[in-house]
Amino acid sequence: MEYIKGITYGAFAGAGSFEKKQAYDSLDKLIEGTGANYIILVPNGLQETPQSQEIDYTSPANLRDDELKKMIAYIHSKGLKVAIKPTVNCKNGTWRAHICFFDKDVPCEPKWSIWFKAYTDFQLHYAALAEDTGCDMFIAGCEMVQSEHREEEWRNVISEIRKIYHGPLTYNTDKYQEDNVTWWDCVDYICSSGYYPINDWEAQLDRIEAVVRKFNKPFFFAEAGCKSTKGSMNVPNDWTIQGPPAPEEQAKWYDTMFSACDKRNFVEGFFLWDWSLKLYCCKDALNDTGYDIYAKPAEKVVKNFYSSK
Protein backbone atom coordinates (compact mmCIF):
# COMPACT_ATOMS: atom_id res chain seq x y z
CA MET A 1 0.00 0.00 0.00
CA GLU A 2 1.06 3.61 -0.56
CA TYR A 3 2.55 5.21 2.56
CA ILE A 4 -0.20 7.15 4.29
CA LYS A 5 0.70 10.75 5.05
CA GLY A 6 -2.66 11.62 6.49
CA ILE A 7 -4.50 14.19 8.58
CA THR A 8 -7.94 14.05 10.21
CA TYR A 9 -9.86 17.10 9.02
CA GLY A 10 -12.90 18.78 10.58
CA ALA A 11 -13.87 15.87 12.81
CA PHE A 12 -17.50 15.80 14.01
CA ALA A 13 -18.40 18.98 12.13
CA GLY A 14 -22.02 20.07 12.23
CA ALA A 15 -24.41 20.82 9.39
CA GLY A 16 -23.26 23.69 7.19
CA SER A 17 -19.63 23.56 8.37
CA PHE A 18 -18.31 22.40 5.00
CA GLU A 19 -20.26 25.11 3.16
CA LYS A 20 -18.15 27.91 4.60
CA LYS A 21 -15.23 29.38 2.70
CA GLN A 22 -13.04 29.09 5.79
CA ALA A 23 -13.33 25.28 5.62
CA TYR A 24 -11.77 25.24 2.15
CA ASP A 25 -9.19 27.86 3.08
CA SER A 26 -8.19 25.75 6.09
CA LEU A 27 -7.89 22.64 3.95
CA ASP A 28 -5.65 24.47 1.50
CA LYS A 29 -3.38 25.48 4.41
CA LEU A 30 -3.32 21.86 5.59
CA ILE A 31 -2.16 20.64 2.20
CA GLU A 32 0.48 23.34 1.87
CA GLY A 33 1.72 23.11 5.45
CA THR A 34 1.92 19.35 5.97
CA GLY A 35 2.55 17.65 2.64
CA ALA A 36 -0.32 15.24 3.36
CA ASN A 37 -1.51 12.83 0.69
CA TYR A 38 -4.59 11.54 2.52
CA ILE A 39 -7.47 13.09 4.49
CA ILE A 40 -9.85 11.38 6.93
CA LEU A 41 -13.34 12.84 7.19
CA VAL A 42 -15.36 11.85 10.28
CA PRO A 43 -19.18 11.98 10.03
CA ASN A 44 -20.85 12.06 13.41
CA GLY A 45 -23.42 9.59 14.76
CA LEU A 46 -25.00 10.43 18.10
CA GLN A 47 -26.69 8.35 20.76
CA GLU A 48 -28.01 9.79 24.01
CA THR A 49 -26.01 7.65 26.46
CA PRO A 50 -23.68 4.61 26.31
CA GLN A 51 -26.72 2.37 26.78
CA SER A 52 -28.93 3.96 24.11
CA GLN A 53 -29.92 1.79 21.17
CA GLU A 54 -30.63 4.50 18.60
CA ILE A 55 -27.98 6.34 16.56
CA ASP A 56 -28.90 9.64 14.91
CA TYR A 57 -26.81 10.81 11.97
CA THR A 58 -29.28 13.28 10.39
CA SER A 59 -29.43 16.00 13.07
CA PRO A 60 -27.87 19.49 12.73
CA ALA A 61 -24.95 18.10 14.76
CA ASN A 62 -23.79 16.25 11.66
CA LEU A 63 -22.70 17.22 8.18
CA ARG A 64 -25.30 16.91 5.44
CA ASP A 65 -24.53 14.41 2.72
CA ASP A 66 -24.41 17.04 -0.02
CA GLU A 67 -21.70 19.12 1.68
CA LEU A 68 -19.73 16.01 2.56
CA LYS A 69 -19.82 14.91 -1.07
CA LYS A 70 -18.69 18.35 -2.21
CA MET A 71 -15.73 18.29 0.19
CA ILE A 72 -14.71 14.81 -0.95
CA ALA A 73 -14.75 16.01 -4.55
CA TYR A 74 -12.64 19.05 -3.64
CA ILE A 75 -10.04 16.95 -1.83
CA HIS A 76 -9.84 14.59 -4.78
CA SER A 77 -9.44 17.59 -7.12
CA LYS A 78 -6.37 18.57 -5.09
CA GLY A 79 -4.82 15.18 -5.79
CA LEU A 80 -5.30 13.75 -2.29
CA LYS A 81 -7.04 10.55 -1.27
CA VAL A 82 -10.00 10.40 1.11
CA ALA A 83 -10.88 8.01 3.90
CA ILE A 84 -14.25 8.22 5.60
CA LYS A 85 -14.67 7.14 9.21
CA PRO A 86 -18.27 7.28 10.50
CA THR A 87 -17.92 7.53 14.29
CA VAL A 88 -20.45 7.27 17.11
CA ASN A 89 -20.39 9.61 20.10
CA CYS A 90 -22.61 9.98 23.16
CA LYS A 91 -24.56 13.20 23.68
CA ASN A 92 -23.98 13.07 27.43
CA GLY A 93 -20.22 13.31 26.88
CA THR A 94 -19.30 9.73 27.77
CA TRP A 95 -16.49 8.47 25.58
CA ARG A 96 -17.71 6.02 22.93
CA ALA A 97 -15.36 3.31 24.22
CA HIS A 98 -17.79 2.84 27.12
CA ILE A 99 -20.81 1.95 24.95
CA CYS A 100 -21.76 -1.42 26.39
CA PHE A 101 -24.67 -3.78 27.09
CA PHE A 102 -25.23 -7.08 28.87
CA ASP A 103 -23.51 -9.91 27.02
CA LYS A 104 -26.79 -11.83 27.00
CA ASP A 105 -29.93 -10.09 25.78
CA VAL A 106 -32.27 -9.54 28.74
CA PRO A 107 -35.96 -8.58 28.41
CA CYS A 108 -36.68 -4.93 29.24
CA GLU A 109 -32.95 -4.05 29.09
CA PRO A 110 -30.99 -2.36 26.26
CA LYS A 111 -29.54 -4.97 23.94
CA TRP A 112 -26.45 -5.48 21.79
CA SER A 113 -28.67 -6.92 19.06
CA ILE A 114 -30.71 -3.72 18.69
CA TRP A 115 -27.66 -1.47 18.97
CA PHE A 116 -25.70 -3.37 16.34
CA LYS A 117 -28.66 -3.09 13.95
CA ALA A 118 -28.59 0.70 14.41
CA TYR A 119 -24.80 0.77 14.10
CA THR A 120 -24.87 -1.26 10.90
CA ASP A 121 -27.48 1.06 9.38
CA PHE A 122 -25.29 4.05 10.30
CA GLN A 123 -22.23 2.50 8.68
CA LEU A 124 -24.09 1.40 5.56
CA HIS A 125 -25.41 4.91 4.94
CA TYR A 126 -21.85 6.20 4.69
CA ALA A 127 -20.61 3.11 2.89
CA ALA A 128 -23.02 3.98 0.09
CA LEU A 129 -21.81 7.58 0.11
CA ALA A 130 -18.18 6.41 0.05
CA GLU A 131 -18.87 4.13 -2.89
CA ASP A 132 -20.72 6.86 -4.76
CA THR A 133 -17.94 9.43 -4.28
CA GLY A 134 -15.01 7.11 -4.88
CA CYS A 135 -13.59 7.33 -1.37
CA ASP A 136 -10.25 5.57 -1.20
CA MET A 137 -10.78 3.88 2.17
CA PHE A 138 -13.61 3.14 4.58
CA ILE A 139 -12.98 2.90 8.34
CA ALA A 140 -15.93 1.22 10.06
CA GLY A 141 -15.82 3.14 13.31
CA CYS A 142 -13.39 4.20 15.98
CA GLU A 143 -12.39 3.12 19.48
CA MET A 144 -15.48 1.04 20.27
CA VAL A 145 -13.53 -0.81 22.94
CA GLN A 146 -16.34 -2.37 24.97
CA SER A 147 -17.95 -3.76 21.82
CA GLU A 148 -14.90 -5.33 20.23
CA HIS A 149 -15.33 -8.70 21.95
CA ARG A 150 -18.61 -9.11 20.04
CA GLU A 151 -16.77 -10.82 17.21
CA GLU A 152 -19.77 -12.26 15.38
CA GLU A 153 -21.53 -8.91 15.24
CA TRP A 154 -18.43 -7.08 14.03
CA ARG A 155 -17.81 -9.65 11.33
CA ASN A 156 -21.38 -9.09 10.19
CA VAL A 157 -20.91 -5.30 10.12
CA ILE A 158 -17.83 -5.70 7.93
CA SER A 159 -19.58 -8.21 5.68
CA GLU A 160 -22.57 -5.91 5.16
CA ILE A 161 -20.33 -2.93 4.35
CA ARG A 162 -18.47 -4.99 1.72
CA LYS A 163 -21.77 -5.56 -0.11
CA ILE A 164 -21.96 -1.81 -0.73
CA TYR A 165 -18.44 -0.40 -0.58
CA HIS A 166 -15.78 -2.08 -2.69
CA GLY A 167 -12.62 -0.26 -1.67
CA PRO A 168 -10.19 -0.98 1.19
CA LEU A 169 -11.95 -1.49 4.51
CA THR A 170 -10.67 -1.38 8.08
CA TYR A 171 -11.57 -0.47 11.66
CA ASN A 172 -9.81 1.92 14.07
CA THR A 173 -9.24 0.28 17.45
CA ASP A 174 -7.99 2.28 20.41
CA LYS A 175 -4.49 2.54 21.86
CA TYR A 176 -3.39 -0.58 23.78
CA GLN A 177 -6.22 -2.63 22.18
CA GLU A 178 -4.51 -3.88 19.02
CA ASP A 179 -3.97 -7.35 20.48
CA ASN A 180 -7.51 -7.61 21.88
CA VAL A 181 -9.25 -7.57 18.49
CA THR A 182 -9.68 -11.15 17.27
CA TRP A 183 -11.25 -10.40 13.88
CA TRP A 184 -8.51 -8.49 12.06
CA ASP A 185 -8.56 -11.21 9.41
CA CYS A 186 -11.85 -9.89 8.01
CA VAL A 187 -10.55 -6.36 7.26
CA ASP A 188 -7.89 -5.23 4.82
CA TYR A 189 -5.70 -3.27 7.25
CA ILE A 190 -5.00 -3.17 10.98
CA CYS A 191 -5.07 0.32 12.45
CA SER A 192 -5.26 1.97 15.85
CA SER A 193 -5.05 5.25 17.73
CA GLY A 194 -1.42 5.94 18.54
CA TYR A 195 -1.61 8.16 21.61
CA TYR A 196 1.38 6.64 23.38
CA PRO A 197 3.56 8.37 26.00
CA ILE A 198 6.75 9.78 24.58
CA ASN A 199 8.96 7.25 26.42
CA ASP A 200 6.79 4.21 25.63
CA TRP A 201 6.92 4.00 21.86
CA GLU A 202 9.45 1.17 21.57
CA ALA A 203 7.58 -1.14 23.94
CA GLN A 204 4.23 -0.48 22.30
CA LEU A 205 5.60 -0.95 18.80
CA ASP A 206 7.05 -4.31 19.87
CA ARG A 207 3.60 -5.37 21.05
CA ILE A 208 1.81 -4.09 17.95
CA GLU A 209 4.32 -5.72 15.62
CA ALA A 210 3.46 -9.14 17.05
CA VAL A 211 -0.20 -8.56 16.12
CA VAL A 212 0.69 -7.39 12.64
CA ARG A 213 2.88 -10.44 12.04
CA LYS A 214 0.18 -12.78 13.36
CA PHE A 215 -2.49 -11.52 10.98
CA ASN A 216 -0.13 -10.58 8.14
CA LYS A 217 -1.95 -7.35 7.36
CA PRO A 218 -0.68 -3.83 6.59
CA PHE A 219 -0.73 -1.50 9.60
CA PHE A 220 -1.04 2.25 10.09
CA PHE A 221 -2.07 4.64 12.87
CA ALA A 222 -5.57 5.91 12.11
CA GLU A 223 -5.11 8.58 14.78
CA ALA A 224 -2.03 10.00 16.46
CA GLY A 225 -1.50 13.32 18.15
CA CYS A 226 -0.44 15.31 21.18
CA LYS A 227 -1.69 18.59 22.62
CA SER A 228 0.70 21.52 22.87
CA THR A 229 0.07 21.60 26.62
CA LYS A 230 2.77 21.11 29.22
CA GLY A 231 2.81 17.45 30.25
CA SER A 232 0.73 16.22 27.31
CA MET A 233 3.65 14.32 25.81
CA ASN A 234 3.37 11.91 28.76
CA VAL A 235 -0.42 11.46 28.42
CA PRO A 236 -1.17 12.40 24.80
CA ASN A 237 -4.58 10.69 24.92
CA ASP A 238 -5.82 13.02 27.70
CA TRP A 239 -7.69 15.76 25.88
CA THR A 240 -8.76 17.26 29.24
CA ILE A 241 -5.22 17.98 30.45
CA GLN A 242 -4.73 21.59 31.53
CA GLY A 243 -1.54 23.63 31.71
CA PRO A 244 0.51 26.30 30.00
CA PRO A 245 1.27 26.16 26.28
CA ALA A 246 4.18 23.86 25.38
CA PRO A 247 4.57 23.86 21.59
CA GLU A 248 8.14 22.53 21.79
CA GLU A 249 6.95 19.52 23.82
CA GLN A 250 4.35 18.79 21.15
CA ALA A 251 7.03 18.97 18.46
CA LYS A 252 9.31 16.71 20.49
CA TRP A 253 6.53 14.14 20.84
CA TYR A 254 5.93 14.11 17.09
CA ASP A 255 9.62 13.82 16.35
CA THR A 256 9.95 10.92 18.80
CA MET A 257 6.95 9.10 17.33
CA PHE A 258 8.14 9.48 13.75
CA SER A 259 11.68 8.41 14.64
CA ALA A 260 10.50 5.30 16.49
CA CYS A 261 8.02 4.28 13.80
CA ASP A 262 10.36 4.96 10.92
CA LYS A 263 12.61 2.18 12.17
CA ARG A 264 9.72 -0.30 11.95
CA ASN A 265 8.92 -1.30 8.40
CA PHE A 266 5.47 -2.59 9.41
CA VAL A 267 4.20 0.95 10.15
CA GLU A 268 2.83 2.19 6.86
CA GLY A 269 1.59 5.64 7.79
CA PHE A 270 -0.45 7.93 9.98
CA PHE A 271 -3.62 9.97 10.11
CA LEU A 272 -2.74 12.74 12.56
CA TRP A 273 -5.27 14.27 14.95
CA ASP A 274 -6.37 16.81 13.93
CA TRP A 275 -6.75 19.91 11.76
CA SER A 276 -9.56 22.37 12.50
CA LEU A 277 -11.99 23.91 10.04
CA LYS A 278 -11.47 27.34 11.59
CA LEU A 279 -7.86 28.16 12.29
CA TYR A 280 -6.53 30.54 14.91
CA CYS A 281 -4.35 33.44 13.74
CA CYS A 282 -0.69 32.56 13.22
CA LYS A 283 0.33 35.09 15.86
CA ASP A 284 -1.73 33.15 18.41
CA ALA A 285 -0.36 29.70 17.53
CA LEU A 286 2.22 29.45 20.29
CA ASN A 287 -0.45 30.22 22.90
CA ASP A 288 -2.82 27.51 21.67
CA THR A 289 -2.84 24.36 23.81
CA GLY A 290 -4.90 22.07 21.59
CA TYR A 291 -4.01 19.18 19.27
CA ASP A 292 -3.77 21.53 16.30
CA ILE A 293 -0.33 21.82 14.71
CA TYR A 294 -1.01 24.78 12.41
CA ALA A 295 1.80 27.37 12.63
CA LYS A 296 3.42 25.52 15.55
CA PRO A 297 6.83 23.83 15.56
CA ALA A 298 5.09 20.45 15.18
CA GLU A 299 3.80 21.48 11.76
CA LYS A 300 7.39 21.71 10.49
CA VAL A 301 8.19 18.33 12.03
CA VAL A 302 5.23 16.81 10.20
CA LYS A 303 6.06 18.53 6.91
CA ASN A 304 9.69 17.39 7.08
CA PHE A 305 8.75 13.79 7.85
CA TYR A 306 5.97 13.57 5.26
CA SER A 307 8.23 15.14 2.65
CA SER A 308 10.82 12.44 3.29
CA LYS A 309 8.41 9.57 2.60
SS3 182: coil
Query: Which H/E stretch holds residue 5?
Result: strand 4-9
pLDDT of 1 over the 90 cut: no
Q: What single-letter DSSP state applies at residue 244?
A: S
Tell me the Ramachandran region of residue 176: left when phi exceeds 0, alpha when psi lies from -120 to 50, beta otherwise.
left
pLDDT in tens, 181-238: 999 999 999 999 999 999 999 999 999 999 999 999 999 999 999 999 999 999 999 9
**In 194-205, which positions are buried (b, 16+ CB within 10 angstroms) versus exposed (e)?**
bbbbbeebeebb
- Give the gyration radius of the chain's Cα atoms: 19
Element of type H or E holding 89: strand 87-90
**What's the whole-number average pLDDT of the chain?**
97
Domain boundaries, given as residue ranges, for the chain: 4-308
Homologous superfamily (CATH) of 4-308 is Glycosidases (3.20.20.80)
- Please choose, from the candidates 283, 272, 192, 194, the residue with its C-alpha nearest in 3D space to the C-alpha of residue 237: 194
Percent of the chain with pLDDT over 90: 99
Residues 6+ away with beta carbon under 8 Å from 42: 8, 10, 11, 12, 84, 85, 86, 87, 142
Q: Please count the CA atoms within 13 angstroms of the CA of 66 that sit on its side-chain side.
A: 3
In the prediction, which pLDDT does 138 show? 99
